[in-house]
């Protein structure tokens, strides 16, 4: 363990400078030297020490990513997309989970900064509580928020247009004939949770349909099941339930069916995200697709342009979502509208 460039240089009978130059090709050496160094490196199994290189170059070839949790399939999908995107540029990803806890999130950011990552991509777990840690990090290193963001708009962000997505979903169920709608989402702790609710409310109000009290819990299958139970226990069902993500929608459909309701005949259900198993549940879920690949590519591209403590105004790139109609919502009626 621990073959250094000095060992290679000695074995090749040249100076460390020549060895380094031969290996990196950043300055010319005679073919003779190049040959000897290459042979020595191969024989000794030399592998450059990335730590030393990072110290000298003041750059680690690493970017840090912090997401609320990797249990949620949306985040695993976006992590994979970011990793794929980075691979092209030879940078590695240090992945951390904040476990939906702003304190853990702040600690993870600290250690990523101590490890001198070249940049950060973060989906802040809490729209308010995450503010100080995120702004502090953005002051020290290029940072881009992906999907979720903190309030105030002071840091760059790439994500889907949450409000527009919910408008699509609401207009779709109304076009299918729904006269009463309800929103099943998450407590309003994240930007996604808030914007999706407000998009829902705006579209529903504009359409003039009956709007029930929203059901707010977690972004999980469990909460979807619970929300379905509550709907069943609260008198006549609404015509449509619009959910803040697919997990909730899948759980909700399951609970409604278990309680004897038919989907979509009695109730239309629409999800959000279109990752994971939306195509493979029963019935296949109508949902709003987030363009995950595009978001990841855009985040990486933007990260390359951002500088730490950038004085220029923060960019906010909202990518348009797309409605994907499957079988959990009633088809659009010819006489609608």
Partner DNA sequence: ATCGATTGGGTAATCGATTACCCGAGTGCC
Partner DNA sequence: GGCACTCGGGTAATCGATTACCCAATCGAT
CB of 50 to DNA, least distance (A): 8
Minimum CB distance to its own copies smaller for 204 or for 243: 243
Contact call for residue 4 and DNA (CB under 7 A): yes
Binding partner at 164 among DNA, its own copies, none, C-beta below 5 to 8 Å by kind: none
Binding partner at 277 among DNA, its own copies, none, C-beta below 5 to 8 Å by kind: its own copies
Helix (H) or strand (E) holding 209: none
Contacts with DNA, 39-78, as mask; x by CB under 7 A: -------x-xx--xx-xxxx--------------------
> Each residue of 136-146: b (16+ CB within 10 Å) or e?
ebbeebbbbbb
Binding partner at 16 among its own copies, DNA, none, C-beta below 5 to 8 Å by kind: DNA
Alpha-helical (H) ranges within the chain are 5-12, 16-24, 31-44, 50-57, 73-87, 102-114, 131-140, 162-175, 191-207, 221-232, 246-258, 292-305
Total chain residues near DNA (CB under 7 A): 28
Tokens 């409310």 map to which residue? 201
CB of 14 to DNA, least distance (A): 4
Instruction: Please tell me the distance from the alpha carbon of residue 281 to that of residue 303, in angstroms, as a whole number.
Output: 36
CB of 203 to its own copies, least distance (A): 30
Contact call for residue 33 and DNA (CB under 7 A): yes
Among residue numbers 143 through 202, which ones bind DNA (CB under 7 A)? none
Distances (CA, A) of 75 to 22, 97, 321: 43, 10, 17
In sequence order, which residues have a C-beta less than 8 Å from that of residue 96 and are 6 or more positions away? 64, 65, 66, 67, 108, 112
CB of 41 to DNA, least distance (A): 10
Binding partner at 33 among DNA, its own copies, none, C-beta below 5 to 8 Å by kind: DNA
* Closest by CA position to 191, among listed 316, 64, 314: 316
CB of 226 to its own copies, least distance (A): 11
Binding partner at 258 among its own copies, DNA, none, C-beta below 5 to 8 Å by kind: its own copies
CB of 42 to DNA, least distance (A): 14
Minimum CB distance to its own copies smaller for 62 or for 145: 62
Instruction: Please tell me the distance from the alpha carbon of residue 120 to that of residue 65, in angstroms, as a whole number.
Output: 6
Radius of gyration of the chain (CA): 26
Stretch that binds DNA, among 17-25, 211-219, 264-272, 322-330 (CB under 7 A): 17-25
CB 157 within 8 A of CB 127: no
Binding partner at 334 among DNA, its own copies, none, C-beta below 5 to 8 Å by kind: none
Angle at Cα 168 formed by Cα 162 and Cα 174, nearest 5°? 135
Residues at the interface with its own copies (CB under 8 A) = 1, 47-52, 54-55, 60, 62, 70-71, 73, 76-77, 79-80, 83, 92-97, 110-111, 113-116, 140-141, 221-222, 225, 251, 254, 258, 277, 280, 282, 308-309
> Each residue of 164-180: b (16+ CB within 10 Å) or e?
bbbbbbbbbbbbbebee
In sequence order, which residues have a C-beta less than 8 Å from that of residue 171 and are 6 or more positions away? 203, 207
CB of 337 to its own copies, least distance (A): 34
User: Which residues are paired to 246 by β-bridges?
Assistant: none
CB of 222 to its own copies, least distance (A): 7
Instruction: Please tell me the distance from the alpha carbon of residue 331 to that of residue 235, in angstroms, as a whole number.
Output: 25
Residues that bind DNA (CB under 7 A): 2, 4-6, 14-18, 20-21, 23-24, 26, 28-30, 32-33, 46, 48-49, 52-53, 55-58
């Amino acid at each position: 363990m621990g073959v250094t460039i000095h060992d290679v240089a000695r074995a090749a009978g040249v100076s460390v400078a020549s060895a380094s130059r031969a290996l990196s090709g950043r300055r010319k050496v005679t073919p003779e030297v190049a040959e000897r160094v290459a042979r020595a490196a191969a024989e000794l199994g030399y592998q450059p020490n990335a730590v030393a290189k990072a110290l000298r170059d003041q750059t680690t070839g690493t970017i840090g990513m912090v997401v609320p949790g990797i249990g949620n399939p949306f985040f695993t999908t976006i992590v994979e997309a970011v990793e794929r995107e980075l691979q092209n540029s030879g940078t590695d990803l240090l992945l951390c989970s904040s476990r939906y806890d702003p304190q853990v999130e702040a600690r993870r950011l600290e250690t990523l900064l101590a490890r001198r990552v070249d940049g950060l991509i973060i989906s802040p777990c809490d729209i308010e509580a995450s503010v100080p840690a995120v702004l502090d990090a953005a002051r020290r290193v290029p940072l881009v928020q992906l999907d979720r963001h903190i309030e105030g708009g002071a840091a760059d962000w790439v994500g889907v247009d949450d409000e527009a997505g919910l408008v699509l979903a609401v207009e779709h169920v109304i076009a299918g004939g729904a006269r009463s709608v309800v929103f099943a989402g998450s407590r309003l702790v994240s930007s996604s949770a808030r914007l999706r609710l407000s998009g829902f409310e705006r579209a529903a109000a504009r359409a003039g349909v009956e709007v029930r009290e929203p059901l707010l819990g977690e972004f999980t299958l469990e909460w979807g099941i619970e929300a379905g139970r509550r709907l069943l226990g609260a008198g006549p069902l609404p015509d449509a339930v619009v959910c803040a993500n697919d997990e909730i929608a899948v759980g909700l459909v399951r609970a409604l069916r278990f309680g004897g309701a038919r989907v979509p005949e009695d109730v239309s259900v629409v999800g959000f995200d279109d990752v994971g198993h939306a195509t493979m549940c029963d019935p296949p879920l109508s949902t709003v697709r987030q363009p995950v690949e595009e978001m990841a590519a855009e985040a990486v591209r933007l990260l390359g342009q951002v500088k730490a403590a950038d004085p220029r105004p923060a960019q906010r790139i909202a990518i348009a979502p797309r409605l994907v109609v499957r079988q959990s919502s009633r088809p659009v009626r010819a006489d609608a509208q």
